Amino acid sequence: MAGRAILKFDSVSKSYGDIAALGGIDLSVERGSFTALVGASGSGKSTLLKTVNRLVEPTAGTVRFAGEDVAAVPLAALRRRIGYVFQKIGLFPHMSVAENIGIGPRLAGEPADAGRIAELLELVDLDSAMADRLPSELSGGQQQRVGVARALAGGPELLLMDEPFGALDPVTRDALGDRVRALHERLGLTTVMVTHDMAEALLLADRVLVMDAGEIVADETPRSLLAGGGGAVAQGLVAVPRHQAERLAELER
């Protein structure tokens, strides 16, 4: 159903000199879906994600968000409606947790009050007493929870995450992944998550897009990928967690 698309890419390409980072992407993302974008390093995942909130301007093609060409929407208005979680967390070190979370609304001239900050902290399962701490006083996992709370502060319709859990230990990573999936349901978000970890994509997403050299080479459900679909590049990525699971099962015998 075309009417349910919140994102639509039409022949979106991006070149850096001789490098074609995106080779003409056509893609539609449905409202309410949780999509994972998987692929090797350098395959164009971050570039594609960044064309949505205009951290990257395409060389050619159009990106539409909620029916509007993003190039025609005022930047501040666009970014208020799109939450973005950075790979490297990117909290401001000299600002408190509350100030970091509230920066978007504050820049938009609608500062979040203490009640709203507490509500956002609660969403990501952090104690409201953490509001006055500095990022350096938090663990990596807690910092990335603050990063997620900051992305949600403006009440976005769309949540974009670029390898959000890449810097975290496996246990923290697993817990935060589950929390984000639960938030996606509870807040009725549309989520696009970049990851190079196929296991994470299979476990969290409804739809898995595989990128290779600037192209989308597979567009499958987790179930169909596990059943062998999606082609050679996709199956190469699925083989990694499958092989690990098989070896663990052998050790248990």
Query: Under the rule (CB under 5 A), what is the footprint of Mg ion?
Result: 46
The CA dihedral of 176, 179, 184, 190, to the nearest 10 degrees, is 10
**Mask 124-153, x = binds ligand ADP (CB under 6 A)?**
------------------------------
Q: How far is the CB of 185 from ligand ADP (least distance, A)?
A: 27
**Binding of residue 164 to ligand ADP (CB under 6 A):** no
**92 contacts ligand ADP (rule: CB under 6 A):** no
Stretch that binds ligand ADP, among 35-43, 111-119, 149-157, 235-243 (CB under 6 A): 35-43
Question: Inter-axis angle of helices 114-123 and 140-152, to 10 degrees?
Answer: 120
Instruction: Give per-residue burial for 17-41: e unless 16+ CB within 10 Å, then b.
Output: eeebbbbbbebebbbebbbbbbbee
CA distances from 153 to 57, 114, 222, 237 (A): 25, 12, 30, 34
Least distance to ligand ADP, CB of residue 21, Å: 3
Least distance (Å) between residue 83 CB and ligand ADP:
19
Please report how close the Cβ of residue 67 comes to ligand ADP at its closest, in angstroms: 26
Which phi and psi (to 5°) does residue 161 adopt? -130, 125
248: Cβ contacts below 8 Å, ≥ 6 apart: none
Quick one: which of 19, 77, 129, 239 contacts ligand ADP (CB under 6 A)? 19
Looking at 45-53, 78-86, 97-105, 237-245, which segment touches ligand ADP (CB under 6 A)?
A: 45-53
The contact set with ligand ADP (CB under 6 A) reads 16, 19, 21, 39, 41-47
